A and B are shown apart, each in its own frame.
Chain A
Amino acid sequence: MAEAQNIPVGSTTAGQIAVAAESTVATRMSAPPSFDVADFPVPHGREEEWRFTPLERLRGLHDGTAVASGTGVKVDIQAPEGVTVEAVGRDDARIGKAGTPVDRVAAQAYSAFEKAGVVTVPKETVLTEPIRIAVHGEGGVAFGHQVVELGAFAEAVVVIDHTGDAVLAANVDYILGDGAKLTVVSVQDWDDKAVHVAQHNALIGRDASFKSVVVTFGGDVVRLHPRVSYAGTGGEAELFGLYFTDAGQHQEHRLLVDHNTPHCKSNVAYKGALQGDDAHAVWIGDVLIEAKAEGTDTYEMNRNLVLTDGARVDSVPNLEIETGEIVGAGHASATGRFDDEQLFYLMARGIPADEARRLVVRGFFAELVQQIGVADIEERLLVRIDEELEATV
């Protein structure tokens, strides 16, 4: 680790940008990963991994005062034939295989969940219909654990919808066998008061490919931690995300791609739009290329569009490279403002102000949606984006 090189990259300053000047992936966390909540001190808010998060709005998820209630969330799983759906205890070997909790809330979720859901797609099974997981908040506190496992050369699309009101802490594990292909769309369309903190762990098998699409619209506080590591060479990860952060909302996406295996690829692209007072979006993009990960090819990108005054973005891309024997590594972060001149130009062509804003945001998101490469998902997402924009802009 002594050879570690840290290259923080700045970005435009139209929005408010914080760029990590010193921190590295390795030193970012205040405690080592653990399944036991007792291994993590209660955060006070100045730790690197918590400094952007409004702890007082986590409703006790971080300090042990949040206790699961009977009316937490209702989970409904619809799976095509051939898929196994189980509820298991934490002694099941598949639980925690893809990754270990890295902060106190994830460890709390692990320590507190009752039964974990496990969805298994057998090897060489290619699904033509998506697996649908509906997570509906019923107003209480809940701790969850979900595993999605694909056997070798299996192919599946999983759509996870989060709706309603809840205080939810969860871990979600994706385990991809060799040559498997998994696309996951996770939509956070919560009601205004919901609090959702989750760690997503993807373990990508040899020559497997993982595509994640994270869409965050709702909630009071949403803090997601998608993490990727590789179990064999030739793995590919594409992590797409889009968020629309409205007045008063805190939406935080913290990504880590751990290139721990040679000849793997990753591509991260997140885009966010913000409007209104105290809308706060945080994007942390950590990529670690370990010394043994020769032949790595990685790129990460974050773009933000600030529509009004009073919104704040913190975007921190961070690339740590421990070997020079790579194909490519890059990152970019930029925050732009929808400015008065753009608004004037569109209005001068007869387009009303609201419609002009919607047009710009729709176009901004569409550029990302078109990269997803799954026509059905692209179409649905564009419809969802339109609905969101009609309702809020």
Chain B
Amino acid sequence: MATLEIRDLHVTVEADNATKEILKGVDLTVKQGETHAIMGPNGSGKSTLAYSLAGHPKYTITGGSVTLDGEDVLEMSVDERARAGLFLAMQYPVEVPGVSVSNFLRTSATAIRGEAPKLRTWVKEVKETMERLSMDPSFAERNVNEGFSGGEKKRHEILQLELLKPKIAILDETDSGLDVDALRVVSEGVNRVRETGEVGTLLITHYTRILRYIKPDHVHVFANGRIAESGGAELADQLEAEGYDKYVKGGASA
């Protein structure tokens, strides 16, 4: 069973000619089949955690460890992490002009699976997955994220999640900017992947709204660069009622 273990993770970022510590000792274990929600106020470091796990060059790891099934993730390049089974659904997916969605998906699936998917079954697989996400077939011929609406970008991220079948999926504010209909469609996609029992999900969000569609096993409150409190689904209800005030008092984030 795949397990992602984060131990005492410290991360800094360079900003305005100064080094700023964003993550200040994160401990978290995510197992295949589990869903963890990470909730926290803006600026608490949630997204830094997501991008650090994926290996974004902007972030410097200054301490701690991350392993996936015992393998040192921090030693891996960005593409190696993806091929090892980590997936990051991004809050702001990047436009890649000149590369069609269909070409991108196939290149990515080939890299992740280690061989090119058989064309006939692949076309069917993509088509059906797109239908379930209410995506028009013409989508496949557009350039990656170019001119996509906010909702289209998120659907495209979840399309990749469904096709690439990672061991650990990190969803960074996938709910932000979505209307209720889009949120439902996207959540259903995430749930289809979760129901296979083969993915561990790290759901990063600012709002409790998405938790009505995607039920977490564990909820963690993220504040000031570390996990401030952990609990079950009931912790989300408490946050819904009380907000983040008690976690940010005296903290670095206002």
Contacts and interface: CB of A to CB of B under 8 A. Distances in A.
Interface in A336-387: 336, 340-342, 344-353, 355, 359-367
A351 B111 contact: yes
Interface residues of B, number: 31
A367 to B, nearest CB: 6
A349 B99 contact: no
Interface string B69-104: 000000001110111000110100111111110011
Nearest to A352: B79
Interface of A is mostly: helix
B104 A352 contact: no
Given A344-B57, A345-B90, A359-B104, A351 B96 contact: no
B54 A349 contact: no
B134 interface: no
Nearest to A365: B98
B201 interface: no
Given A344-B56, A367-B98, A350 B79 contact: yes
Interface in A93-128: none
A65 to B, nearest CB: 43
Contacts of A363: 96-100, 103, 143
B112 interface: yes
B81 to A, nearest CB: 8
Given A344-B94, A360-B99, A350 B164 contact: yes
B98 A360 contact: yes
Interface residues of A, number: 25
Nearest to B108: A349
Nearest to B57: A340
A306 to B, nearest CB: 13
Contact of A351 (B56, B87, B107): B107
Contacts of A350: 79, 82-83, 108, 111-112, 164
Contacts, number: 80
Interface in B57-71: 57
Interface in B26-56: 54-56
A387 B108 CA distance: 21
A348 B82 contact: yes
Nearest to B81: A348
A45 to B, nearest CB: 35
A350 B112 CA distance: 6
A70 B144 CA distance: 53
B160 interface: yes
Given A344-B57, A347-B82, A363-B99, A352 B94 contact: no
Nearest to A340: B57
Interface string A163-191: 00000000000000000000000000000
Nearest to B111: A350
A349 B98 contact: no
Contacts of A340: 57
Nearest to B88: A348
Contacts of A344: 54, 56-57, 78, 94
Nearest to A366: B98
A365 B99 CA distance: 10
A353 B82 CA distance: 13
Contacts of B90: 345, 348
B82 to A, nearest CB: 4
Given A344-B94, A367-B98, 9 more contacts: A344-B78, A346-B108, A347-B55, A348-B78, A349-B104, A351-B82, A355-B111, A359-B107, A364-B98
13 contacts: A341-B94, A345-B96, A348-B81, A350-B83, A351-B79, A359-B103, A359-B104, A363-B96, A363-B98, A363-B99, A363-B103, A364-B97, A366-B98
